[in-house]
């Protein structure tokens, strides 16, 4: 009963992050609630309501009492109010105080319960001070016209640089065992690279064992067993699901962590090889297997995954790729890390914009990784798997931190917690009832 209550409390405690995940996005806006007070204090100042401006500034300071920008703003508002009223009588908003007090009490309960029930708990950073709206409209253009001694938004000193999308490649592969195979020119395209030995044979086997223990039919695709073809079974699992199963003792936690570690290795390689000058974030990570269904392979003429682009809607007839919803327009780079070769069919192919003319074909094998930019310059698909099971780790990346994968953020927190506890291989079977 206590375990159930703590899971409910942990879920409730995480609501501030869930509510900060806007519709259509898969990661939360950091510092979501405090940012409202930051914008409000400036807005009230602009309309001359210095009382409410000070009230909102003080509300923001409940979350970040050492924020220099807002402290300066609060002092400025107090100076404007001198002689008309006592600034000390203006208090932070009651709802902000109530929420913060409740949040702290929830955190205290979770930490006490974790100690009493014998499981680890690490409080996430819900009020990241440097969170901001990461787009070109995050700060009103007129803010630069304010006098230097006037108020300014706290986030005005922390602009996000726009990524330089000058296309580059050929950067270091970072790991001595990774073998370069083909570049863009050799693959007849743009922003493409083929690598071998990204993971070892033993790691492939271990990942395959983990896959058998954690995959659910259609996971990640709203329960559809086969989203692309009726002739194959489609199964997948996310990093967080793997860690959850490891924590519950259903699979070795060391093996679940391998999934996390090799996906991070792939991210670092992609970021380095394409010489990106800004951080590459995970957008979605999926361990996926496609299995040929017996009795359904004769006279088959479809693909395992139809020709498409990863961040735009491919329109072969118009020779265009429309970068608009429902496409995942925020994806910038993609990668597929293969785990096995003991199947028939399943070649990865690049095509022209007509979705017919094949420009490159890649046969999967253990440790092989194909990576490429996610736009219309790289239409691709997968030929039919006609016998056996084809498994790979599919990775999509973004340069926009707003579209970071929420499950990845949560997985990072789990890994940080495990590292803090210094868990070793002999300590992996802990608290099998615990839920992440």
Pairwise pLDDT comparison (154 vs 245), residue with the higher score: 245
How high is the pLDDT of residue 423? 46
**Each residue's pLDDT tens digit, 27-69:** 566 777 888 898 899 889 889 899 999 999 999 999 889 888 8
Residue 196, burial from CB neighbour count under 10 angstroms (0-12, 13-18, 19+): middle
**pLDDT beyond 50 at 383:** yes
15, 117, 127, 217, 258 from 112: Cα distances, Å: 20, 9, 21, 38, 31
Residues 195 and 338 in one domain: yes
For residue 135, name the pLDDT band (cuts at 50, 70, 90): very low
**The pLDDT of residue 145:** 40
Of 218 and 139, more confident: 218
- Residue 222 in domain: yes
* pLDDT confidence bin for 90, thresholds 50/70/90: very high
pLDDT greater than 60 at residue 26: no
C-alpha angle 240-308-169 in degrees, rounded to nearest 5: 75
Please say which residue of 117, 146, 162 terminates a domain. Answer: 117
Q: How many other C-beta atoms can be found within 10 angstroms of the C-beta atom of residue 17?
A: 18
Q: Which two tokens stand for residue 357?
A: 């003319």
CB 390 within 8 A of CB 343: yes
Q: How confident is the model at residue 119 (pLDDT cuts 50, 70, 90)?
A: low
- Please give the C-alpha separations between residue 235 and each of 43, 284, 288, 336, 392, in angstroms, as whole numbers: 50, 15, 6, 16, 11
In degrees rounded to 5, what are phi and psi of residue 369? -135, 130
> Which of 141-145, 206-210, 312-316, 330-334 tops mean pLDDT?
330-334
Considering the domain boundaries, does residue 270 fall inside one? yes
Q: How far apart are CA 24 and CA 21, in angstroms?
A: 8
Known catalytic residue: 209? no
CA distance 276 to 377: 18
- Report pLDDT for 267: 97
Task: Please indicate, yes or no, whether residues 111 and 196 belong to a single structural domain of this protein.
Answer: no
Residue 289 in any domain: the answer is yes
The per-residue pLDDT for 142 is 33
3: domain CATH number?
A: 1.25.40
Which residue would you say has higher pLDDT here, 429 or 326? 326
In the prediction, which pLDDT does 416 show? 85
Q: What integer pLDDT is reported at residue 180 of this predicted model? A: 97
CATH of the domain at 347: 2.60.120.620
What pLDDT score does 358 carry? 96
> Are residues 64 and 209 both part of a single domain?
no
Provide the residue count of the chain. Answer: 436
Give the model's pLDDT for residue 109.
87
Per-residue pLDDT band for 330 (boundaries 50, 70, 90) equals: very high
The pLDDT of residue 15: 80
Cβ atoms of residues 381 and 305 within 8 Å = yes
Query: Band of the pLDDT at 305, cuts 50, 70, 90?
Result: very high
Q: Which of 152, 267, 390, 404 is flagged as catalytic?
A: 390
Q: How confident is the model at residue 107 (pLDDT cuts 50, 70, 90)?
A: confident
Residue 433 lies in a domain: no
Do 188 and 59 share a structural domain? no
**Which of the listed residues 117, 143, 165 is the one where a domain comes to its end?**
117
Whole domain around residue 91: which residue ranges?
1-117
Q: Tell me whether residue 143 is in a domain.
A: no
- If asked whether residues 32 and 103 sit together in one domain, one would say yes
pLDDT > 50? residue 136: no
Q: Residue 275 — very low, low, confident or very high, per pLDDT cuts 50/70/90? A: very high
pLDDT at residue 432 greater than cutoff 50 = no
Span 355-363, mean pLDDT? 95
> What pLDDT was estimated at residue 414?
86
For residue 110, count CB atoms less than 10 angstroms from its CB and return exposed for 0-12, middle for 13-18, buried for 19 or more. Answer: middle
Rg (CA), the chain: 25
Which residues, listed in sequence order, are joined to residue 373 by a DSSP beta bridge? 333
Is 251 a member of any domain? Answer: yes
| Residue 172 belongs to some domain of the structure | no
What per-residue confidence (pLDDT) applies to 191?
A: 96
Structure tokens at 144: 């630069």
pLDDT mean across residues, the chain: 82
As a whole-number percent, the residues of the chain with pLDDT over 90 amount to: 42
Q: Taking a C-beta distance cutoff of 8 angstroms, is the pair 343, 391 a contact? A: no
Confidence of residue 300 (pLDDT cuts 50, 70, 90): confident
**Dist CA 238 CA 393 (whole Å):** 10
In terms of domains, do 112 and 183 share one?
Answer: no
- Decide which of 77, 102, 117 is a domain's last residue: 117
The pLDDT value given to residue 297: 85
Query: What is the pLDDT, as a whole number, of residue 164?
Result: 42
For residues 57 and 199, state if they share a domain.
no
| pLDDT of the residue at 338 | 97
Residue 428 domain-assigned?
Answer: no
SS (H, E, C) the chain: CHHHHHHHHHHHHCHHHHHCCCCCCCCCCCCHHHHHHHHHHHHHHHCCCHHHHHHHHHHHHHHCCCCHHHHHHHHHHHHHHCCCCCHHHCCCCHHHHHHHHHHHHHHHHHHHHHHHHCCCCCCCCCCCCCCCCCCCCCCCHHHHHCCCCCCCCHHHHCCCCCCCCCCCCCCCCCCCCCEEEECCCCCCCCCEEEEECCCCHHHHHHHHHHHHHHCEECCCCCCCCCCCCCCEEEEEECHHHHHHHHHCCCCCHHHHHHHHHHHHHHHHHHHHHCCCCCCCEEEEEEEEEEEECCCCCCCCCCCCEEEECCCCEEECCCCEEECCCCCCCCCCEEEEEECCCCEEECCEEEECCCCCCEEEEECCCCCCEEEEECCCCCCEEECCEEEEEEEEEEEEEECCHHHCCHHHHHHHHHHHHHHHHCCCHHHCCCCCCCCC
Report the number of distinct structural domains present in the chain. Answer: 2
């Amino acid at each position: 009963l206590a375990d159930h209550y703590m899971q409910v409390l942990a879920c409730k405690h995480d609501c501030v992050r869930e509510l900060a995940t806007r519709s259509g996005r898969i990661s939360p806006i950091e510092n979501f609630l405090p940012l409202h007070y930051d914008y409000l204090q400036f807005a009230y100042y602009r309309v001359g309501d210095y009382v409410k401006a000070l009230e909102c500034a003080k509300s923001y300071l409940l979350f970040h009492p050492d924020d220099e920008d807002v402290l300066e703003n609060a002092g400025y508002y107090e100076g404007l109010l001198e002689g008309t009223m006592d600034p000390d009588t203006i208090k932070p908003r009651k709802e902000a105080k109530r929420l913060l007090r409740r949040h702290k009490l929830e955190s205290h309960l979770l930490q006490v319960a974790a100690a009493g029930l014998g499981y680890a708990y690490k409080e996430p950073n819900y009020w990241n001070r440097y969170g901001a709206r990461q787009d070109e409209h995050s700060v009103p253009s007129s803010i630069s016209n304010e006098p230097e001694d006037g108020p300014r938004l706290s986030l005005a000193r922390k602009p996000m640089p726009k990524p330089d999308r000058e296309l580059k490649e050929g950067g270091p592969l970072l790991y001595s065992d990774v073998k370069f195979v083909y570049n863009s020119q050799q693959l007849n395209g743009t922003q493409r690279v083929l690598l071998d030995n990204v993971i070892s044979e033993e790691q492939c086997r271990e990942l395959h064992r983990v896959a058998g223990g954690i995959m659910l039919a259609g996971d990640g695709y709203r329960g559809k067993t086969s989203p692309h073809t009726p002739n194959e079974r489609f199964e997948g699992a996310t990093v967080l699901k793997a860690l959850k199963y490891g924590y519950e003792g259903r699979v070795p936690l060391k093996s679940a962590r391998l999934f996390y570690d090799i996906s991070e290795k792939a991210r670092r390689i992609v970021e380095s090889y394409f010489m990106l000058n800004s951080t590459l974030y995970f957008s979605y990570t999926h361990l996926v297997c496609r299995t040929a269904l017996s009795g359904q392979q004769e006279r088959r003429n479809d693909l395992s995954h139809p020709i498409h682009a990863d961040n735009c809607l491919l329109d072969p007839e118009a020779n265009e790729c429309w970068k608009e919803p429902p496409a995942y327009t925020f994806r910038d780079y993609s990668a597929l890390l293969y785990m096995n070769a003991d199947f028939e069919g399943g070649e990865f192919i690049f095509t022209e914009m007509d979705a017919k003319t094949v420009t490159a074909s890649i046969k999967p094998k253990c440790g092989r990784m194909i990576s490429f930019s996610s736009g219309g310059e790289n239409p691709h698909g997968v030929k039919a798997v006609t016998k056996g099971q084809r498994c790979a780790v599919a990775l999509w990346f973004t340069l926009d931190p707003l579209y970071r994968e929420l499950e990845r953020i949560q997985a990072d927190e789990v890994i940080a917690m495990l590292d803090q506890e210094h868990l070793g291989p002999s300590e992996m079977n802990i608290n099998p009832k615990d839920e992440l």
